[in-house]
Homo-oligomer: A and B are copies of this chain.
Amino acid sequence: MFNEYQHLRIPGPTPISPEVEREMSKTILGHRSKDFSDIFKDTCEKAKGIFKTKEDVFIIAASGTGALEMAVANIVEPDDKVLVIQTGVFGERFAKINAAFRANVIVDKYELGEVANPQRIKKILSENPDIKAVFLTHCETSTTVVNPIKEIGEIVKDTPAILIVDSVSGLVGMDLNMDDWRIDIVVTASHKALGLAPGLALISVSQKAWAIIEDHKGPKFYFDLISYRKNMKNNTTPFTGPVTLVFGLSKSLDKINNEGLDNVFRRHMLIKNMLRAAVRAIGLDLFIEDDNSASATVTGIKGNFQIDVNELISVLKEDYKIIIAGGQGDLKGKIFRIGHMGYIHPLDILTTISGLEMALKQLGYPVELGAGIRAAEEVWCDEKGISK
């Protein structure tokens, strides 16, 4: 009866809605057929809305890291000086990809939980006018911080460098305005706030970045952006595209547009605030204390009261069918993370909070049952304007 029953609350893959699931299951089409090209064209056009850009948005059959590599492989030549803002595991991944492509990498490393500092970045750029590209993570999934992209965009735009942003776990969950914020390359993936299965990545490129890409000599083929741009003119991909994921993406974008992108952001913010209020009421500590520095798509919680994080995760999974994530890298065992992006309703986070209260009680921690739920419901009522 309940063997597939679950509440998937990790920071991706995220739950897939029935509508998107049905769309991904519709009869497959040839990737060069007119029927598919029509859907592809419409989908790429709709995708510009979530990037807030006038530029083309390209679809790649790869997971998010493939598109991060695409950003590096089309820009960086050996010995080019690049700046990587490292606020966690995914900033570190950008540094590793750049190292693999023989870049001269300057790493601006932050304490775990700290957000990127625009003034520090401005100083590094002024001391290194030869920096070709700045690599930045929007939502750093490992620490659950959100970096100040807009402020950093303001700084990078006045330099020869381009700004490359990994928004894999940010886009659609939190506002990002590629054109107004002067971001040169934005990358995202299907299995986060877009609520699809993994295997599709999206990338968009500014004119400032195209000027570099057109002169780029380094080795690339599957990830060669020029060939994607050329094929886009015929509403197709250079290589076989992820046909069924494109079906799902089209439906997911329609759902986002029907709800209204600003309402999608508000929903993520509401769920974030409900969860944060609940965590505080339960007596746990948030890994990111400052609400403005905390992601709206994933929340990190400290394993205080000497919580055994792994024990909590397994009780939630076994007894409550709620699947959450532990810490990554140096935060393994120190924090646990609850993902709340994409196909998630405020009621779903209440379910997660209930499970958390009961699992903690079950493990013998001093928790007042219902305290977290009450705090979360109050946040929701406030947002609805329902007086207490």
Contacts and interface: CB of A to CB of B under 8 A. Distances in A.
Contact of A21 (B25, B30, B64, B240): B25
A64 B241 CA distance: 10
Contact of A242 (B4, B10, B198): B198
A33 B72 CA distance: 30
A193 to B, nearest CB: 14
The bracket for how many chain A residues form the interface is: 35 or more
A333 B101 CA distance: 42
Contacts of A245: 197, 199
Interface stretch (A143-151, A219-227, A370-378): A219-227
Contacts of A66: 61-62, 66, 222, 239
Given A21-B25, A61-B63, A102 B219 contact: yes
Interface stretch (A12-20, A129-137, A267-275): A12-20
Nearest to A103: B219
Nearest to A217: B102
A25 to B, nearest CB: 5
Contact of A96 (B65, B96, B221, B244): B221
A10 B199 CA distance: 23
A351 to B, nearest CB: 16
A321 to B, nearest CB: 11
B13 A27 contact: no
Contacts of A222: 62, 65-66, 69, 223
Interface in A11-52: 12-13, 15-16, 21, 24-33
Q: Which of A28, A102, A238 has the most B CB atoms < 10 Å from its CB?
A: A28
A152 interface: no
A22 B241 CA distance: 21
Contact of A31 (B13, B15, B33): B13
A200 interface: yes
B101 A240 contact: no
6 contacts: A4-B27, A12-B240, A30-B323, A197-B244, A199-B244, A222-B223
A-B pairs, 9 with minimum CB distance: A65-B239, A197-B244, A199-B242, A199-B199, A63-B240, A4-B27, A100-B221, A61-B63, A69-B222
